[in-house]
Amino acid sequence: MMGTRFIVTPESLAGDAYRQMLVESRIDDVLLTRAFSGLDTNMLRPSIIAAGLDPAALPAPTPEEARKVFGPEGSAHLRRWVDVWSAGHTVSGVDAVLPAAEPIERIAAEYAAAQRETAAMLPPRDGEPLS
């Protein structure tokens, strides 16, 4: 769920074109497909199109069949996660290439806020003063 935020960071091993596609993509660009791994996987529709494939006409192979076609020794002219990229639904929250420290700080702040909000909704435990 959070991985997409970190793919776009300069610290990741993702290429610049992948990072740029993540910045430009939104939730409607995420396609759930079995075509590249044989398992349900979220892939970026723009990368599928850039690879010369039709997102509406992708096969649904078994994992073994997908490995034979799109794996390291596959017969296809492209490889999954090298030429066709994945992303989660959080891609809609990616709007810039930022150092990893920034999303980490944002996530920590969001977590602290959620803790405070949750604590405010809970009844006090025995012996605790009302807030």
Cα–Cα distance, 2 to 125 (Å, whole number): 33
Question: Are residues 29 and 85 in contact, defined by beta-carbon separation less than 8 angstroms?
Answer: no
pLDDT at 130 over 70: no
Tens digit of each residue's pLDDT (9 = 90 or more) over 7-66:
999 999 999 999 999 999 999 999 999 998 899 999 999 999 999 999 999 988 888 888
CATH superfamily for domain 3-121: Aldolase class I (3.20.20.70)
pTM of the complete model: 0.78
For the CA atoms of the chain, what is the radius of gyration? 20
Question: Are residues 68 and 74 in contact, defined by beta-carbon separation less than 8 angstroms?
Answer: yes
Tens digit of each residue's pLDDT (9 = 90 or more) over 98-122:
999 999 999 999 999 999 999 999 9
